[in-house]
Structure 1
C-alpha cells in the first residue's frame, strides 16, 4: 500500500483495459498534433534550439505517467516557465552557446530535485504563499511580456530584454530593419491561427462536420499553418530574402546524459530554480485539481510534487529544460477523452516519432510562424478582469495584483513574483495584526452570543464579553492588550472580563505573555479575567504553563455557562 502511494501506476494499471487504451491513444494523437508546433515555439522562447522543446516533451511525459496522480494532466514546456528559464539562464551564459544549453539542463535538474524533496517532506503547503491574485497578476504580466518579445520574430528584427522597458527599447532601435517578407509570413500565420481558434469551428459546424471530427481539425489547425508556411518558404525561397528559418534540426532522440556541474552556476540558479519550482507546481496543481473535480477524482498534492519533480529530472537527463503541467494541452487531453496517465506516455511516443521522422523538414520553417504560435497561445494568459474583481472585493488584494503585474512588467518575472509574494505576506501580517474582535451579548431566548453592534442582545454591566476572531501570536498580541485596556478604562462597573476563544486555534509565547500582562493589569484594578470556549490543543498548551494557576478567574466550557455563573 505504501509503494502504491508513491507509484500510482500500480493502482490504475491493474484496471487498464481495451476501452481505456483506445481512449488514451485517441487523446494522445490529438495532443501530439498540438504539441509539435508548441514545443518548438516554447524552446525558442526559452532561448534554446527548437528540438529541445521536443526533447522536453518525451521523457517527462513517460515519467509523469508512472508517478503522477492526474488522469488528464499533460506535462511539458509551457510559455511562462520558458520565459522564466530564458531570464534565469540568460544571466549565466550567452544565448546560443553550449553553456546556455547546459545551464538550462542544470536548471531542470535543480528544479526537479527541489520539487521531489518538497513532495517527500510533504511541503506542498509552500505553494499557498502564492495567492491567487498574485498568480493572476504574474501570469497576465508574463503573457504581455511574452507577446511583446515575439514582435521581433514577427517583424524580422532582433529584440532583447526580459521586461517591457528593455523590449520596447530594443524594438524601437531596430524598427527600421523590418523585413517585409518576415512581416508577411508573421501576419499570415497570426491571422490564420486567430481564425482557427475563434471561427473555424463555426465554419465546420455550418458545413455539418461531426463535432468530434471538427474538434480534431481545430486542434490540428496550427500544424496546417506550419505546413503552409513551410511550403511558402520553399516556393518563394524566403531564406534568401532574409526570413529567419529554423534551420537544420538534429534527427533522432536525445542522448541521455548529465552536464558538467559548476558550483558557481548552481549558486546563481538556486533562487530561480526555487521560484520556477513553486510557480510550476502552482500551475500544475491548479490544472490537475480543476480537471479532477470534473471527474470526481482525487489529486494528491504531495505526490504531484514528486511526479513533477521526477519529470523535471527526466527533462534534464533527456536534454530538455524545466517543464510543468500546461493548462491548454491538459484541457485538450481531457476533452479528447484521456482516461489514465498512460495517454501522456502515448503522447511521448508520438513526439519521439516526430523527432525521428519530421525534423529534417523543419529546416525551412519560418521562425515567424513559431512566434505567431506563441502569441496566440499566450492570449489565454492575459486576464485583466481580475483587476475589476479585486478592486470591487478587496483593495488589499487589488494592491497585490497591481504590484505583481507592474513589478513583473517593469523589472522582470523573478522580481515581479518576489514583490507579489512579499506584498501578500505583508498584507496577511497587517490583517492579522489587527484581528477582528467584538464585544458580544446574548441573543434573547438563546444561548448564542453576537456582536452588540450588529444584533439586539442582552448585556450585563458587570460582565464584559469579548470574542476574539483570530489566533493570537506575536503580531497581534499587543492589539488584544490595547483592546481590553480601552474597554475597561473608565468603566468602574466592570468586574469580570471574559475572552471568548472559539476562533483561537493557537497562542504563541508572545501572546501568552500578553495574556499574563492583561491578567496582571486587570487584577490590580479588581477585575477578574476569564476564558471561555478554549479549544483542546490551546488548552493543552496553557496547562503546561503557570498562566492557568495564576488566572484570577476561571475557564468555562461555553460563553453561556460563563455569563450564567458570573451573573449569579
Structure 2
C-alpha cells in the first residue's frame, strides 16, 4: 500500500493496534508533562495528539516517525516566550499558538522550495550540544517540581538553579517521596520489562496514593482541573509587532524540528527498507504545526523516544498515531476528571526519565574520544544554550556549522601522486606505478613529473590551498635537485569551478610558465570539462589525458 498508511496490510492489523495502545500509554502522560514544561495548560499537550497527529499521519512519507511536542520544543517555547508574557496567561497561550503557525509556515515554504537538504547542515555534535543544553534546563525545572519547590516562570538556567538550591530547605517531603518512588518504578521496571507502560502505572498508582493518603492537603501539587471538550479551531489574534517578535524563536523551532525529524525519518527508512521524501516530510511537519496553532496546541516535531517504542513494538505504519488521536479524543470528551488528581511530582519524574538521555553524555564521551574539535563544537553549543539561552544557542549552532563547513572546505584532500625523480628510485616498476596512480594510492617517482589530485570542487574556499600545495611541491622538487618539467593535475574528483578559483589558477599558470613547467590534466570529468574550459582553467593548448598512466607514458616519451 502506498501513500496514506503506506505499508499497512490486514495481516498486520493486530500488531499495529497493540503498538497503538502502547503509544497511548506513553504519549498522554508525556504530553501533559511537556505542556507544563512549555508553561501551557495540560490541554495544550493533549490537543497536540488529535488534529496535528492526524494531519501528520495522513501526509508524511515516513511510515514510523511519531509527531508530537517533545522536550526540546517545549523548552524552546518556554525560554522564548517567558520574556514576552507570563506563563499560563491567555497572552502566553496565544503567542504559543502563533509561534506554531509561523513555524509551520516556514516548514511549508522549505518544502515548496525543496530545501530538505538543508537539514544536513547541522551536524551531530551541534545537535548533541544544543539538545543537551535544553535537557539540562528541563531537568532543573523537573527536579524543583519533584521536590515541591516553586520556581519563578521565565527564569533562565542560572536563576532556576539558584532557586532550586535555595529552596531545598523548603522541599516538601511527600513530594520528594512520590518522586523517588516514581523514579524507582520507572527505571527498575524498564530494566525488568521494557514493553510494560510503567509511566502509566506510575500515574495511576501515584494518583491513587495521593487520594488515599490525603497528600494534596500536605502540600503535594496536583494537575488540577482539565477542561473537557474538543479543541476549537481558532486563529490567534496578535498585533503585527508581536507576530514579528515570534519569528526568531519560530525559526529556531523550525531548525530543530526539520533537522531532527528528517534525520530520524531517514534513519528508520534505511533500517526498515522503505523510501522517504524529505520535502514531503517537511510539508507534513508544516501542516501539523499549522494545525497545532489553530487547534490550541504548540509546536510539534518528531518524537525519537516514541518512534523507537513503536519500532520496538513492531509497528511499520502510521496507524498507531491515528489510534492515539481517537483515544485522546475520547479522553477529552469523557475522562478529563481522571486527570485532575495526578500529582505533579509523578509527572516530573516521568518527564525527567524521558529527558535524561537527551543530555547526550555517552555521545559527548564518544566525541571526546574520536575528535576533540567536534567535542569542542558540542561543548560550546551546550554551554551557550544553558548559560545564555535557547535562541542564542541555535544561532551559535548555525554559526559553528558554517565555520565547520568552511574549515573542511578550505582544507580539502590534496594527494601528491607522483614526484620528480629517477624512475629506478621508485619502489615498484613504472607499469606498477601507473596502476597505483590509476587506483589513486601511493606516491611514485617519475622523471621530471609531478602529479597532484584535488579531491573536491575547485572554488574560492580551497583554491589558495590547492595553489599553495602545488607551489610547495614544485619548490621542494627543485631543492632536491629533481626539478619539475611536467605538472599533471588529476581532476577526477573536481566537479565544479568558480570565478575566484579560475582567477587564482591563471596566476598559478603564469608562475609555472616563468619556470618553464608544462601543465596537463588527467581524468577530467566529462560534465566538468566545458565549464573548466569556459573559465580558462584548461586552455586549448593543454593536453588532457584519459588516465594517469597515459600522462606518465606521454611525459616519459618526451
Partner of 1:539: 529
Partner of 2:458: 472
2:172 corresponds to 1:172: no
Relative distance call for 1:132 and 1:16 in structure 2 (3 A) is: closer
2:477 corresponds to 1:523: no
* Deviation (angstroms), 1:84: 1.0
Asked if structure 2 preserves the Cα contact closer than 8 Å seen for 1:156 and 1:182, the reply is: yes
Partner of 1:44: 36
Asked if structure 1 preserves the Cα contact closer than 8 Å seen for 2:146 and 2:175, the reply is: yes
Partner of 2:255: 278
TM-score, normalised with respect to structure 1? 0.89
Asked if structure 1 preserves the Cα contact closer than 8 Å seen for 2:520 and 2:542, the reply is: yes
Asked if structure 1 preserves the Cα contact closer than 8 Å seen for 2:417 and 2:441, the reply is: no
Partner of 2:3: 8
Asked if structure 1 preserves the Cα contact closer than 8 Å seen for 2:222 and 2:344, the reply is: yes
Distance 1:304 1:567 in 2: 57
Deviates more, 1:241-250 or 1:386-395: 386-395
Superposed, which structure 2 residues align to 1:37-116 within 5 Å?
Answer: 37-116=29-108
Q: RMSD across aligned C-alpha pairs, in angstroms?
A: 2.5
2:371 pairs with one of 390, 394, 413: 394
Asked if structure 2 preserves the Cα contact closer than 8 Å seen for 1:257 and 1:318, the reply is: yes
Asked if structure 2 preserves the Cα contact closer than 8 Å seen for 1:467 and 1:501, the reply is: yes
* Deviation (angstroms), 1:222: 1.6
Deviations 1:350-399 (A, max 9, x none): 11111222212222221111111110111222332223322332222122
Asked if structure 1 preserves the Cα contact closer than 8 Å seen for 2:495 and 2:525, the reply is: yes
TM-score, normalised with respect to structure 2? 0.91
* Deviation (angstroms), 1:83: 0.8
Asked if structure 2 preserves the Cα contact closer than 8 Å seen for 1:70 and 1:299, the reply is: yes
Deviates more, 1:437-446 or 1:95-104: 437-446
Distance 1:117 1:449 in 2: 49
1:261 pairs with one of 226, 234, 238: 238
* Structure 1 portions without partners, runs of 5+: 202-213
Partner of 1:26: 18
Partner of 1:238: 215
Relative distance call for 1:286 and 1:262 in structure 2 (3 A) is: same
Superposed, which structure 2 residues align to 1:343-358 within 5 Å?
Answer: 343-358=320-335
2:544 pairs with one of 555, 560, 564: 555
Deviates more, 1:97-106 or 1:293-302: 293-302
Deviations 1:466-487 (A, max 9, x none): 1222222112212222222222
Deviates more, 1:479-488 or 1:108-117: 479-488
1:291 pairs with one of 268, 272, 287: 268
Deviations 1:298-318 (A, max 9, x none): 121111111111111111111
Deviates more, 1:171-180 or 1:156-165: 156-165
Distance 1:33 1:358 in 2: 15
Relative distance call for 1:405 and 1:383 in structure 2 (3 A) is: same
Distance 1:322 1:406 in 2: 24
Aligned residue-pair number = 542
* Deviation (angstroms), 1:116: 1.5
Deviates more, 1:360-369 or 1:436-445: 436-445
* Deviation (angstroms), 1:557: 2.2
Deviates more, 1:75-84 or 1:85-94: 85-94
* Structure 2 portions without partners, runs of 5+: 419-425
Q: Secondary structure at the match of 2:39?
A: coil
Relative distance call for 1:398 and 1:405 in structure 2 (3 A) is: same
2:473 corresponds to 1:487: yes
* Deviation (angstroms), 1:67: 0.5
Asked if structure 2 preserves the Cα contact closer than 8 Å seen for 1:529 and 1:552, the reply is: no
